[in-house]
DNA sequence: TTCGCTTGCACAATCGATGGTGCAAAAACT
DNA sequence: AGTTTTTGCACCATCGATTGTGCAAGCGAA
């Protein structure tokens, strides 16, 4: 009597089996049956049959009819990075707890790809879109707007939709200050010994660089204007920046402000193959937190962005009625060297 | 004349505008129009209108009709881990290049959640499902089988569908050997100085533990049977295992085989707050690769699983006609301490 | 008995795209 | 001119669920 690879049961199958009409079956199965004054006993019969035949709703059909899908999208620049992957992890938890289905995709920081990706998701009638670290948030906005899709920017702000971002200026200020203070008074850091590597021409980098300059000036009294080496968000370009620097000056600075963990990987590549002692005096500040990064052989002061708070705030905003686009700053946290913080995985149980 | 937040254009709208029938419009827009002998000029007219009105296919409708969606699923245990996130990154590349839409979700290593997640994805008529590191692959298989969904296991094998996994035994053998050889002959490692931490009762852990035992015995001549401390895939449980060990023996072993980068985070937590010197003599082997992990203050030998090869193989297999379930081993790679390898992100361009 | 109200459900249109089938007009051939 | 073939497209059922509407049966009141 069992189905082998038989087609899945539909409300029409259950309709025949139960003797009720498809609409009644539908109402029973989607929970609106009380409102439709379906008899309790009828409902029970149908629910029993549904169970028996392993009925599951065809969500494409429902989505088509309702013109929303129950899918909630998260668009990341990339997956393979602890900042963004913790974003995904946190996001999933929130979406799941709302009974919807998370869909996480990446768009490679490519404006064109970002728009295409948004369009694809829209074609599936996703209900909401969380846009993380987009290179062109406003381009994505256009696409969403046209489709009437609720959306919100995270990590990098746009001008046309609400944004929830890290307080980059404060974070970078704290970080720069912590780097400088790390050198105490015996052998204080000189202005020309602290350099910033990484970042590109986006809002986050600009803020961080501004704070870096301001803090250097405030604490060290001066700020040579060659202190910043942009190198995009690419380990290899960052590597080349370090190599160029080293080539040119014969040594690395005593202290580094590194714009993101991705850029930090460029430093790793620079370290690879070179003697460890070369880096024994180095002090690094990194705008991003990576647990392994925190335990490198030299002091690494990190900034952890408050992903949980950002996602929470984003969910609040996205449900709200639309008002003039605003940007909300979430305070990040300074992380001392050799710290292993809890992350989103810690809420998962692992019983063995 | 432009639409504001007007509904999206459909083939019916274009049908009216072009004077052709909906089926003709459909054929033109989905590319089957030559097969249907639609005149070139008709096609051009419709394509022009589509462009003008920003037509995009409603993929839910198409999916409903075709009973497949163009979505390809990847089910991970968790996002927030470099191994799995690089899996996601690689997967996305492959799916995109096939013109489909990747959907990445995590299921928290919970068998129940795994099945529910698969069921949800099936309800959206996904075309294929890649099941990574499932706790209960065969449970997921049942669900897929019933729905006639092509699927494949990755990382952890199942008995009922093809599996592509890392060659855990060989990898762990290489790793154990590398750990032991790291100690040269002056002050060689003794059997009771090498311990394995982490893992649970899954295929990967069992293989690794078996290889660990065998290699210890082969190279060190003996293998005390208390050398393995399972602690699931949880940083905190692993932390407690280290604490218990330390409590009990007053020190850490000279050498550690750590079952995964997640367990390695347990070691980080143990390190936090304790003096760095405590670990200066430590040698660690970790079955997983994390670029930052590779540069810790003590030698960390790592194993990088060949994600690219695994995903490639999985795509080959999933398209093949079904045969008796087989498990394919992919050789991992030993990574010497202080190595910063290229990853999936390196194929992305970042011009700034 | 009749009117009116509630209960319980069926009917049918609809969401947007697809693809098998059929048929008129144009073209090719005899 | 008459017949066959080809061309070009329209028609319509269909995928599975949702939802506004309508209506018969049951029941109480008048």
Shared-domain flag, residues A37 and A74: no
* Nearest CA-CA partner of B178 in B336, B48, B24, B21: B336
Residue B127 maps to a domain: yes
Question: Residue A107, CB half-sphere, CA atoms under 13 Å: how many?
Answer: 26
Task: Transcribe B164-213 into DSSP letters.
Answer: EEE-HHHHHHHHHHHHHHTTTTTSPPPGGGEEEE-B-SSHHHHHHHHHHH
Are A17 and A44 part of one and the same domain? yes
Concatenated DSSP letters of A16-56: HHHTS-HHHHHHHHHT-TTTTT--HHHHHHHHHHHHHTT--
Q: Rounded to an integer, what distance in angstroms lies between the CA atom of residue A332 and that of residue A284?
A: 18
Task: Give the CA A45 to C1' D27 distance in Å.
Answer: 25
Q: What is the 3-state secondary structure (H, E, C) of B210-259?
A: HHHHHHHHHHHCCCCCCCEECCECCHHHHHHHHHHHHHHHCCCCCEEEEC
Mean pLDDT confidence for A134-156:
95
- Give a three-class secondary structure readout of B272-290: CCCCHHHHCCCEEEECCCC
Among A112, A129, A161, the domain-final residue is A161
Assess if residue B317 is contained within a domain. Answer: no
- Per-residue CA distances from A82 to A261, A343, B40, B87 (Å): 8, 10, 51, 13
* B146 and B176 part of one domain: no
Q: Do B149 and B125 share a domain, yes or no? A: yes
- Are A154 and A163 spatial neighbours (Cβ–Cβ below 8 Å)? yes
Are B247 and B179 contained in the same domain?
A: yes
pLDDT in tens, A233-264: 999 999 999 999 999 999 999 999 999 999 99
Neighbours of A196 (CB within 10 A): 26
**Helix ranges, A53-167 (H):** 59-66, 82-97, 111-123, 137-147
Considering the domain boundaries, does residue A222 fall inside one? yes
Cβ pair A124:B57 closer than 8 A? no
B156 and B172 housed in the same domain = no
What is the reported pLDDT for B255? 97
Residues B87 and B24 in one domain: no
Taking each helix axis as running N to C, give the angle between helix A40-52 and helix A11-18, from 0 to 180 degrees, rounded to the nearest 10. 120
Domain of A38: which CATH number?
1.10.260
**Does residue A15 share a domain with residue A81?**
no
Question: Are A96 and A214 members of one domain?
Answer: no
Q: How far is the CA of A116 from the C1' of D12 (A)?
A: 34
B248 inside domain: yes
B19: its two tokens: 């004077």
Is residue A153 domain-resident? yes
Contacts of A269 in chain B (CB under 8 A): 340
- Asked whether B292 and B330 are in contact (CB, 8 A), the reply is no
Torsion of CA B11, B12, B14, B16, to 10 degrees: 160
Tell me: do B52 and B154 sit in the same domain: no
All residues of chain B having their beta carbon less than 8 Å from the beta carbon of residue A85 are: 79-82, 84-85
Which range of residues forms the domain containing residue B154?
A: 68-161
Closest residue in B to A229 (Cα) is B352
Residue B114 placed within a domain: yes
pLDDT of residue B222: 81
Contacting residues 25-64/A vs strand D (CB within 7 A): 26-27, 29-30, 32, 36, 55, 57-58, 61-62, 64
Question: Is residue A282 one of the residues assigned to a domain?
Answer: yes
Q: What is the dihedral of CA A319, A321, A326, A332, to 10 degrees?
A: -20
Residues contacting B352, CB < 8 A, separation 6+? A200, A201, A230, A231, A232, A237
Looking at the structure of chain A, the number of domains it has is 3
Q: Are residues A270 and A190 in the same domain?
A: yes
Quick check: A53 pLDDT over 90?
Answer: yes
Instruction: Please report, for the domain that includes residue A209, its CATH number.
Output: 3.40.50.2300
Q: Would you say residue B332 lies in a domain?
A: no
> How does residue A5 score in pLDDT terms, banded at 50, 70 and 90?
low
**Per-position pLDDT tens, chain B of length 352:** 344 456 789 999 999 999 999 999 999 999 999 999 999 999 999 999 999 999 999 999 999 999 989 999 999 999 999 999 999 999 999 999 998 999 999 999 999 999 999 999 999 999 999 999 999 999 999 999 989 999 999 999 999 999 999 999 999 999 999 999 999 898 999 999 999 999 999 999 999 999 999 999 999 998 887 778 888 899 999 999 999 999 999 999 999 999 999 999 999 999 999 999 999 999 999 999 999 999 999 999 999 999 999 999 999 999 887 789 999 999 999 999 999 999 999 988 765 5
Same-domain check for residues B154 and B191: no
Contact B103 A108 (CB under 8 A): no
CB of A349 lies under 7 Å from some atom of strand D? no
List pLDDT tens digits, range A268-327: 999 999 999 999 999 999 999 999 999 999 999 999 999 999 999 999 999 887 789 999
């Amino acid at each position: 009597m069992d189905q082998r690879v038989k087609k899945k049961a539909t409300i029409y199958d259950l309709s025949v089996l139960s003797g009720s009409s498809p609409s009644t079956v539908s109402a029973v199965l989607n929970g609106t049956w009380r409102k439709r004054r379906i008899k309790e006993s009828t409902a029970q019969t149908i629910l029993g049959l549904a169970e028996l035949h392993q009925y599951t709703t065809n969500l494409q059909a429902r989505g088509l009819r309702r013109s929303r899908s129950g899918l909630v999208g998260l668009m990341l620049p990339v997956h393979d990075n602890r900042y963004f992957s913790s974003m995904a992890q946190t996001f999933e938890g929130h979406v799941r707890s709302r009974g919807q289905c998370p869909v996480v995709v990446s768009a490679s920081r490519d404006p064109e790809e970002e728009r295409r990706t948004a369009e694809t998701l829209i074609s599936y009638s996703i209900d909401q879109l969380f846009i993380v670290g987009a290179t062109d948030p406003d381009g994505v906005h256009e696409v969403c707007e046209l489709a009437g899709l609720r959306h919100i920017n995270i990590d990098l702000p746009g001008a046309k939709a609400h944004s929830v971002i890290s307080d980059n200026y404060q974070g970078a200020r704290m970080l720069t200050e912590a780097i400088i203070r790390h050198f105490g008074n015996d052998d204080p850091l000189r202005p020309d010994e602290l350099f910033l590597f990484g970042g590109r021409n986006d809002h986050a980098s600009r803020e961080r660089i501004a704070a870096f300059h301001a803090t250097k000036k405030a604490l060290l009294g001066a700020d040579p204007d060659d202190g910043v080496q942009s190198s995009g968000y690419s380990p290899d370009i960052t590597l080349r920046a370090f190599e160029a620097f080293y080539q040119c000056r014969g040594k690395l600075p005593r202290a580094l402000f590194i714009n993101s963990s991705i850029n930090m990987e460029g430093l790793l590549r620079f370290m690879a193959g070179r003697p460890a002692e070369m880096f024994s005096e180095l002090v690094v500040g990194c705008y991003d937190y990576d647990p392994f990064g925190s335990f490198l052989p030299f002091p690494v002061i990190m900034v952890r962005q408050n992903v949980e708070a950002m996602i929470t705030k984003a969910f609040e905003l996205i449900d709200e009625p639309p008002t003039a686009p605003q940007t909300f700053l979430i305070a990040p946290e300074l992380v001392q060297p050799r710290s292993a913080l809890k992350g989103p995985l810690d809420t998962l149980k692992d019983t063995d």
